[in-house]
Amino acid sequence: MNTARTDTPPAAHIEYIKLPEVKRISGLSTTSIYRMAVAGDFPKQRKLGVKAVAWIRAEVEQWAASRAVVGQTPAATESK
């Protein structure tokens, strides 16, 4: 008898990254990252243990991509 459930999708792979990688992707300082996270303008870190936190890579990369789109101007996107 097959007892495997087929009605739930497999869990998505979540990759956690530490602060140095978050700083590299975002181009922000440590202070700016934490200040913006508190303000709701940057993804918040997740507690992994008693003394460990990390960010979800996909959230940080999505934030960075949204900033790139915000920085575009109509003149910059027009082909010449």
State the Cα angle at 61 between 80 and 63, rounded to 5°: 80
> Would you kindly state where each structural domain of the chain is located, as residue ranges?
16-70
Rg of the chain, C-alpha, whole Å: 18
**pLDDT number for residue 68:** 85
**pLDDT number for residue 9:** 59
Contact 57/15 with Cβ under 8 angstroms? yes
pTM above 0.85, yes or no: no
pLDDT tens-digit profile, the chain (80 residues) = 555 555 655 667 899 999 999 999 999 999 999 999 999 999 999 999 999 999 999 999 999 999 987 666 555 445 44
